[in-house]
Amino acid sequence: MSPGRRFSDALRVASHFLLALALAGFVQAAAPARVLRLEVKGAITPPMSRHIRDGLAAAESQGASAVLLELDTPGGLLDSTREIVSAMLNSTLPVIVHVAPPGARATSAGVFILMASDAAAMAPGTHLGAAHPVGLGGESPPPEKDKKGAKAAKPSVLSEKAVSDAAAYVRVLATEKGRNAAWAERAVRESVSLTAEEALKQNVVELVARDREELFRKLEGRGFAKRGGKGRLRLAGAEVREFPMSPLRRVLQVIANPNLALLFLMLGIYGLIYEFSSPGVGFGAIVGLTSLILAGYALSILPVNYAGLLLIVLAIVLLILELQVPSYGLLSVGGLTLLVLGSLFLFDTDQAYLRISLEVVIGTAAATGAFILLVVSKLLKTRKLPPAVGAETLIGLTGEARDALDPRGPVFVNSELWTAEAPARVEKGARVKVVAVEGGALRVEEIKEEPHG
């Protein structure tokens, strides 16, 4: 083969290869970006943390271009927030956080999530701030200043450590993403807040966008850095895929509510009291144990004040004693009083969404009082009923003297042979009636038959 022919063949192969590369690049450029959307609505709890982390992992495995978190949260637990932030920072994909729709909020834990995002946006009519830490264990540290700006009571050493740790954490996040670190620290230490427009002016967020379409349009071409690499967002005409929360996690997310935790706790106590007051049915035990398990789950992930929980336990003890000891209602009044106090202190925190509403507390106390009254009345009626077992059940029955009673002898009553004693001699075969039971023997009287006229 001549050199010219070889060169021509090589040139043809190279041109085909370059054409294939160009076509592949055109197809890739023409394919729309894929964005995985997660709705983050409600408190930041372990179920929500698991949902977001699974969503970030799914986005990477599906080859998505970015992840969109639409945020509307009153806050949540600091441990769960740290898990979410860590997953966002270690994701290979850019994470966009949009506080939306209008009227939504990103308070408390929401501030940390927003600061950790690669692109932070808010819809008009939204707000963020008040990022004071709430941890596990029942202590929510008080802000350093009250609403008038005066110094609050000196917090405990544990509270100061929690605030300082959270302040340093959010400052690092804001600094790394090029946002206003000074304001982020004030949000933790002083619980300050901003509207969407104020946040944009103070470099807390990058943009304000009413909806997803406007958000993608304003983010087009924006740079980001992940794991040492840099890139640009290409979201024009992006295909948005949903990553919904699983039904089980939705249930767990609903259960992680202070009001429901108290209701499940009391329903479990009602079920067990009902079961022990009328054993053998089983329905009360099933409902009671199931409710207590649900209450235990909620209490395990919420910041419980153990002093409040102890008051509730003491209240239950007094109410149970009311069923055993006639106190003319004094134990019930004491138990209900402790129940109200314990319910109010159960989640003693400055975060409104972690407090039990007064309506639920009053309703629970009223329902408990009515339940105890019902159980006590049924117990009193039961105690007034004649015995259902034992020799006392023979009182009022009739039988036959199997031998002469003078004054003692055998009688046949209720298909059984008993020793009986009569006030006067009773002949063999006479009809007798049981009038009392004394020391294991029956007291009987002879039934006199009236002569026929």
300-356 pLDDT tens trace: 888 888 888 899 989 888 888 877 776 677 888 888 899 899 888 888 666 666 778
Tell me the DSSP string of 74-90. Answer: --B-HHHHHHHHHHHHH
**What pLDDT does 29 receive?**
45
Helices (H) and strands (E) in the chain — how many of each? Answer: 14, 16
Structural domains in the chain? 33-249 (3.90.226.10), 257-384 (no CATH), 391-446 (2.40.50.140)
| H-only helix segments in 256-305 | 258-277, 283-301
Mean pLDDT score, 4-21: 56
Mean pLDDT score, 124-128: 96
Mean pLDDT score, 157-182: 89
- Does residue 148 register a pLDDT over 60? no
pTM as predicted: 0.69
Phi, psi of 74 (to 5 degrees): -85, -5
103-117 pLDDT tens trace: 999 999 999 999 999
Mean pLDDT score, 278-306: 81
Strands 95-99 and 127-129, bridge-based pairing: unpaired
| Confidence label for 142 from pLDDT (cuts 50, 70 and 90) | very low
Higher per-residue confidence, 179 vs 437? 179
| Confidence label for 15 from pLDDT (cuts 50, 70 and 90) | low
Query: Residue holding tokens 């105890």?
Result: 372
296-307 pLDDT tens trace: 988 888 888 888
DSSP 3-state of 68 = strand
Contacts of 227 (CB under 8 A, 6+ apart): 90, 92
| Confidence label for 4 from pLDDT (cuts 50, 70 and 90) | low
**What pLDDT does 30 receive?**
47
Quote the DSSP letter at residue 154: P
- Is 96 in contact with 69 (CB distance < 8 Å)? yes
| Confidence label for 145 from pLDDT (cuts 50, 70 and 90) | very low
Contacts of 311 (CB under 8 A, 6+ apart): 338, 339, 341, 342, 345
CA distances (Å), origin 448, targets 426, 430, 451: 11, 9, 9
311: nearest Cα among 341, 283, 287: 341
Contacts of 187 (CB under 8 A, 6+ apart): 111, 128, 129, 130, 131, 170, 193
Mean pLDDT score, 379-387: 59
- Does residue 132 register a pLDDT over 80? no
Contacts of 50 (CB under 8 A, 6+ apart): 249
Q: How many Cβ atoms are within 10 Å of 453's Cβ, its own excluded?
A: 3
Tokens of 14: 């190279």
**What pLDDT does 264 receive?**
92
Mean pLDDT score, 364-379: 80
214: nearest Cα among 380, 94, 102: 102
- Is 437 in contact with 391 (CB distance < 8 Å)? yes
- Give the gyration radius of the chain's Cα atoms: 38
**In which element (H, E) is residue 250 found?**
helix 247-255
70-80 pLDDT tens trace: 999 998 888 89
**What pLDDT does 236 receive?**
83
